[in-house]
Amino acid sequence: MTELAAPAADRAGVSLEQFLAETNDRALELINGEWRAKVPTNALHNRIVMKLLFAIYQYLLNTRLGEIAAEATFILPERDAPDWVRGSRTPDLLFFAAERIARYLAIFPDWQGKPYAIVPDLVVEVVSPNDSADQVTEKVDLYLADGVREIWVVYPAAGTIMIYAPDSETVRLLRRDSVLDDSEVLPGFQLSLHDLFSEVTVS
């Protein structure tokens, strides 16, 4: 027997058309059927994001292993209703492996005019002072449930990074004197946390 799709009124989400209208001029995420505003970030947060973006971008120029994006939104369509959005996320950085993103772009030639409808392989969240521990945990749990392969949670004030993966029972903690390496998603990538968290010197 073919399983019938749930009526639109019972879905925890919105139509793609409504999603695009709601997010046209506002930074919003759709989480468990609830609209949540993205809180503006501070200068330190932005500096860390840009350092990570530049380091990963340089790595990808040499390896051609995929594509990196900053502050980009990805949506979670319903399997039986591709134009129905059941959730959305906007991490600070998101990475797509080369084969997956190439296949996605080929299948969806109109990809330019809407958010990514593909789950990233890696997301990076830089924690701001106004992010509570519960909010960070919720984000990590959502990404793992979405199917993200690796999650970096960066704490600028503490100078640490927590690395999560769905197939690992332990969380990897990197401190300021460590090197960010051994990534399953970005093999061979290396970044000194001392360099990441150091102040920029202007001569």
Domain ranges in the chain are 41-74+89-197
Decide which of 25 and 153 is more confident: 153
**The pLDDT value given to residue 9:** 46
Q: Is the pLDDT of residue 201 over 70?
A: no
pTM value > 0.85: yes
Fold annotation for 41-74+89-197:
tt1808, chain A (3.90.1570)
Lowest pLDDT segment from 3-7, 44-48, 120-124: 3-7
Return d(Cα 41, Cα 45) in angstroms, integer: 6
Return d(Cα 51, Cα 74) in angstroms, integer: 22
For residue 27, which amino acid is it? A
Lowest pLDDT segment from 31-40, 48-57, 157-166, 192-201: 192-201
For residue 48, which amino acid is it? I
pLDDT, average across residues 169-193: 94
- Residues 121/95, Cβ–Cβ less than 8 Å: yes
In percent, the amount of the chain with pLDDT more than 90 equals 65
The 10s digit of each residue's pLDDT in 61-95 is 999 999 999 999 999 998 888 889 999 999 999 99
DSSP class of residue 111 equals G
